[in-house]
Amino acid sequence: METGDEPPARGLRARVRAEMVDEIKAVARRHLAAEGANLSLRAVARDLGMVSSAVYRYFPSRDALLTVLIVEAYDALGEATERAEAAVARRDLRGRWIASCHAVRDWALAHPAEYALIFGSPVPGYAAPPDTVGPASRTPAVLAVILRDAVAAGVVSPNRNERLPRALRADLKRLLADPRFAGIPEPVLARAMTGWIHLFGLVSFELFGRFNDMITDTGQFFDYQVRAMGTQIGL
């Protein structure tokens, strides 16, 4: 029933179970990379030398397995972005922005199937479980924190003629209740959202082949776009 929580494993049995869960996830990830979202539980079981029904001891359904992979993909992307951003000097705000964006792209290129699983079209029946929203917000949080620091450093400030729709202001105010984002003026958070949307639009377009036969050096193009976005945001 469970899908591999149970911090350290109480006994021997629990440990071999946790190992089995890890193995299933690893093989499933491999299959995902090879054949995309139409993941076959039976094929995964076959690769593990067991019969399909045995997998159901560890995951109640195929969707449950996919959900776990989705959560872990969000976390992996978030962690990769956080690490890359943390490696840049705190005062180099533009550098932190650029490094974060590149980290997202690099992770996506390294794990295209998992990226597609997350940012591709959602399966119609599939409803994102609430455990995904936390990990999913890690990456945009990195971007917002950069702008928080930029505001605190006096590098970025809201523009006088930067007007926001009423409903958007209310939404932004709600987001700003998060203590991590304290001090960000609403117009600046709006810019962060714009950057966030643009960034993932860019990565998705590249990964989903929209630049094929159009842009030769996609890495250079990405860098150009990301720098322009940084300038536009005020970094």
Partner DNA sequence: TCTACATCGAGAGCACTGCTCTTGACAGAG
Partner DNA sequence: CTCTGTCAAGAGCAGTGCTCTCGATGTAGA
Among 13, 160, 166, 174, binds DNA (CB under 7 A): 13
Question: 21 to each of 68, 73, 94, 118, how far by Cα in Å?
Answer: 11, 16, 41, 21
- Which of a second copy, DNA, none lies near 43, with the C-beta cut-off 5 to 8 A by kind? DNA
Which residues are CB-neighbours of 6 under 8 A, at least 6 positions away?
A: 14, 18
Residues in the chain: 235
- Total residues at interface with DNA (CB under 7 A): 24
| Per-residue contact flags (x/-) with a second copy for residues 25 to 44, judged by CB under 8 A | ---------xxxxx------
State how far the Cα of 76 lies from the Cα of 139, in Å rounded to an integer.
Answer: 10
* Residues 48-77 within binding reach of DNA (CB under 7 A): 49-54, 56-58, 60-63
Residue 147 beta carbon to a second copy: minimum distance, rounded to whole angstroms: 16
* 82: nearest Cα among 143, 156, 148, 152: 143
- Residue number, 126 or 224, with CB nearest to DNA: 126
Is 94 a residue that touches a second copy (CB under 8 A)? no
- Tell me the C-alpha distance between 87 and 209, whole Å: 30
CB-count burial class (<10 Å; 0-12, 13-18, 19+) for 20? middle
Residues that bind DNA (CB under 7 A): 10-13, 17, 20, 39-43, 49-54, 56-58, 60-63
Residues that bind a second copy (CB under 8 A): 34-38, 113, 116-117, 119-125, 128, 133, 164-165, 167-168, 170-171, 175, 194, 197-198, 200-202, 204-205, 208-209, 213-217, 220-221, 223-225, 228, 232
